Amino acid sequence: MPYKKNIEALAKKNPQLAQLIDSAVLTGRYVIAPSQRKDKLPSMVDIKFNKNFYNNIDPYRVAEQDIKSRNLRLPDLAVFLGFGLGYEVFEYLNKYPHARVLIIEHDMELLKTAFSTIKYLDLLNSANVYFVGGPNLRAFYPMIFKFLNISSNIYFLKSVNVLEQPVCYLGNKEYYLSSLQLLKEAIHQVLLLYGNDPYDSLLGIKYTLRNIPTIINSPGISDLEGIFKGKPGIVVASGPSLNKNIHLLKDLKEKAVICAADGSVKILKHNNLPPAHLVTSLERVIETSYLFEGLTEEDTKDSYLAACPVIVPETYANFPGEKVIVYRNFATFDWLDIKKGILDIGPSSGNMAFKVLEYLGCDPIILVGQDLAMTDDFRTHAKGFHSGNEPKPNLPNMLKVEGNYQKEVITRRVYKQFLLHYERDVAAYKGTVINATEGGAKIHGTQLMTFQEAIDKYIKTNIDSTNTIKRALKYPKYKEKEKQIKETLKKLHHGNKFCNEVIDICNDGLRRCAVIEEILSRTNCKPEGKDVEVYKSNLTEIEKIPYQFSGKDFYLITMHYVQSIYIKILQDINNIKFSKDNGIERDTMLFLKYRELFSVLIGLLKKLIEEFNISIDIVEKYQEEFLQTGGKKV
């Protein structure tokens, strides 16, 4: 029987689903019968609903006809609702071998029956095929997000082919409709990950370049990798539930690694508690700097601002303690190549604190004050928060989510974004995550207990947290800094040159767009003869231009800045190909989108060139002061 090899292959990619299938009881609901084909290819009947998934003459032919009848224009990305015996998936990949496929199946008994009948190793071992399912599909949200966030899938999120296995779909229609809603939510979160405003991304690049002196002068998070392996870590966030258990932090300074989100620093001070070992910050707005206004050196003694350098320079300036550089997984930091350590950080400083503790090797990680929700009387933060703790009943975009101790709690869309990212981080984490928030929203994948229970169970011995961090951090020496300054100036000049080259390519694209526009305008969108040949050849050349942007320089220098627009327009282009038949209407829509792409890129890159020029001046001045002072901190 093929079951053992199938389940072993699935367990390598999705152990949670493999366990669910292995635990399923075979009740005899699904009956396998040989067909009338020469190879006796099996068919399957659902006894409960008296439904044959295919037919007994040629079950594969049914799947073949199903895929053919859909007449797909752009088959690159597909989601199958229901698996059956997998014939539809087999045929889809046979016809479109480069497609990426997500399979969602509700019934574990069905999958166990199928896995016991047919060898699926090609599917299960394929990097292009993901299986998720089970009654609690929410538990597989992180894997659905991961599938959609694969780089080759991002450009097709507006052109997803949804294919229902008829018997599976009709038998569990409500489940599959809910799965589509979850799919839409995951797509929305992927799009949010890449931003919706290039100027917001430009701010991150702008401040990173402004912060180059701080980056060069400071140690990096890479110095701390794994130094607290198996030791407890505590994320301190600023949610209102922190009021219930913040006092318990008092005696934990040397028994755990305490990593606080920036908004909780003044709350710790308000409660006369020692500062956290590490403070995370990543918002690129001036308001973040206010979170540290008025702090003294005593308030941040033995505390390090573990910030991502996209923050405004004033945030660094307002924090009286030492700094540790933590890069986010942005191409800009790869390009700068000043080694400090890159983490896959989520959208909030709380998400960042979790990833920092994971990087340090902490296990378990205990969350406190991570409500990700409002109280029943609409409070969003604990007492002592920078801007107060007044009720905020009229905040925009409020909704309800599952609570830790209540069926539902009130939250905001932005908090839900943080929550969903937490669930993805927790799913990828190898250790134990304790949610000791004692209120707030449920984070799937965490264990729920009170902070006192977590302390009693996991925090027992002294680990000398403060001195361990001090000893591990390495401050850059003179020669290293001198080299980094020179290399950074070279990169800034090269970035300037490269942006001008991309602008030239886009201008060539606009010239070709102008030729097409002239032909379509002159012929009232009914070109004939040579005009058709000319506009088609120009459109073909225009469609090749994005492939010139697939090189390393475009990704490293410009992608983080332009990605929100670049990805969106390419998604729109693929959606046109997905939804429109070949013809003049389709071609016109495509040319207009390409023209938009080239025009927007030119405008954006001109602004990036301005930032490079300003940054060159700043780094040259820094270099001059560095040399004049003999490398002393400037």
Closest CA to 312 of 386, 217, 205: 205
Taking residues 148-172, what's their average pLDDT? 94
- Asked whether the predicted pLDDT for residue 81 surpasses 60, the reply is yes
pLDDT band at 476 (very low <50, low <70, confident <90, very high): very high
Distance separating alpha carbons of residues 87 and 588, to the nearest angstrom? 38
Report the relative pairing of strands 51-52 and 42-46 from DSSP bridges. Answer: antiparallel
State the DSSP code for 140.
Answer: G
Q: How far apart are the first and last CA of the chain?
A: 70
- Asked whether the predicted pLDDT for residue 550 surpasses 90, the reply is no
Cross-strand pairs, 433:
365
Token pair 């390598």 is at which residue? 12
Half-sphere exposure of residue 204: CA atoms within 13 angstroms, side-chain side: 25
Token digits for 506?
């886009």
Token digits for 102?
């997500």
Do residues 46 and 53 make contact, with C-beta atoms less than 8 angstroms apart? Answer: yes
Q: Give me the pLDDT at residue 633, please.
A: 62
pLDDT tens digit sequence for 414-440: 999 999 999 999 999 999 999 999 999
Tell me the pLDDT of the chain averaged across its residues. 94
Q: Give me the pLDDT at residue 195, please.
A: 77
Distance separating alpha carbons of residues 16 and 132, to the nearest angstrom? 9
Distance separating alpha carbons of residues 299 and 274, to the nearest angstrom? 8
pLDDT tens digit sequence for 271-308: 999 999 999 999 999 999 999 999 999 999 999 999 99
Percent of the chain with pLDDT over 90: 88
- Phi and psi at 443, nearest 5°, equal -105, 105
Q: Give me the pLDDT at residue 390, please.
A: 74
Distance separating alpha carbons of residues 108 and 22, to the nearest angstrom? 8
Half-sphere exposure of residue 610: CA atoms within 13 angstroms, side-chain side: 8
pLDDT tens digit sequence for 348-390: 999 999 999 999 999 999 999 999 999 988 888 999 887 766 7
Q: What amino acid is encoded at 37 in this protein?
A: R
Distance separating alpha carbons of residues 220 and 37, to the nearest angstrom? 65
Which residues, other chains included, contact 342 with Cβ-Cβ below 8 Å and sequence gap of 6+? 327, 328, 329, 333, 334
How far from 622 is each of 215, 216, 282, 313, 330, CA to CA, in Å? 12, 11, 24, 15, 24
Distance separating alpha carbons of residues 15 and 613, to the nearest angstrom? 51
- As a dihedral over the C-alpha atoms of residue 266, residue 297, residue 283, residue 394, rounded to 10 degrees, the angle is 20
Q: Can you say how many angstroms the Cα of residue 590 is from the centroid of all Cα atoms in its chain?
A: 29
Token pair 């003694």 is at which residue? 301
Listing DSSP states for 3-46 in one string gives HHHHHHHHHHH-HHHHHHHHH----S-EEEEE-SSTT--EEEEE
Predicted TM-score (pTM) of the model is 0.89
Report the relative pairing of strands 257-261 and 233-236 from DSSP bridges. Answer: parallel
- Phi and psi at 43, nearest 5°, equal -115, 175
Do residues 335 and 241 make contact, with C-beta atoms less than 8 angstroms apart? Answer: no
- N residues, the chain: 634
Token pair 């928030």 is at which residue? 437
Token digits for 3?
């079951």
Q: Give me the pLDDT at residue 634, please.
A: 57
Distance separating alpha carbons of residues 445 and 267, to the nearest angstrom? 28
Report the relative pairing of strands 447-448 and 433-435 from DSSP bridges. Answer: parallel
Q: Give me the pLDDT at residue 192, please.
A: 86
- Asked whether the predicted pLDDT for residue 391 surpasses 80, the reply is no
Q: Give me the pLDDT at residue 31, please.
A: 95
Residue 319, sorted as left (phi over 0), alpha (psi -120 to 50) or beta, turns out to be: beta
Q: Give me the pLDDT at residue 388, please.
A: 67
Q: What amino acid is encoded at 26 in this protein?
A: L
By three-state DSSP, how is residue 74 classified? Answer: coil
- As a dihedral over the C-alpha atoms of residue 386, residue 389, residue 394, residue 400, rounded to 10 degrees, the angle is 100
- Asked whether the predicted pLDDT for residue 556 surpasses 60, the reply is yes
Q: Give me the pLDDT at residue 631, please.
A: 73
Which residues, other chains included, contact 53 with Cβ-Cβ below 8 Å and sequence gap of 6+? 43, 44, 45, 46, 59, 84, 85, 165, 167, 168
Taking residues 81-110, what's their average pLDDT? 96
Report the relative pairing of strands 278-281 and 257-261 from DSSP bridges. Answer: parallel
Taking residues 600-613, what's their average pLDDT? 96
Do residues 258 and 174 make contact, with C-beta atoms less than 8 angstroms apart? Answer: no
- Phi and psi at 164, nearest 5°, equal -95, 130
Is the Cα dihedral 623, 625, 626, 630 positive or negative? positive
Taking residues 161-177, what's their average pLDDT? 95
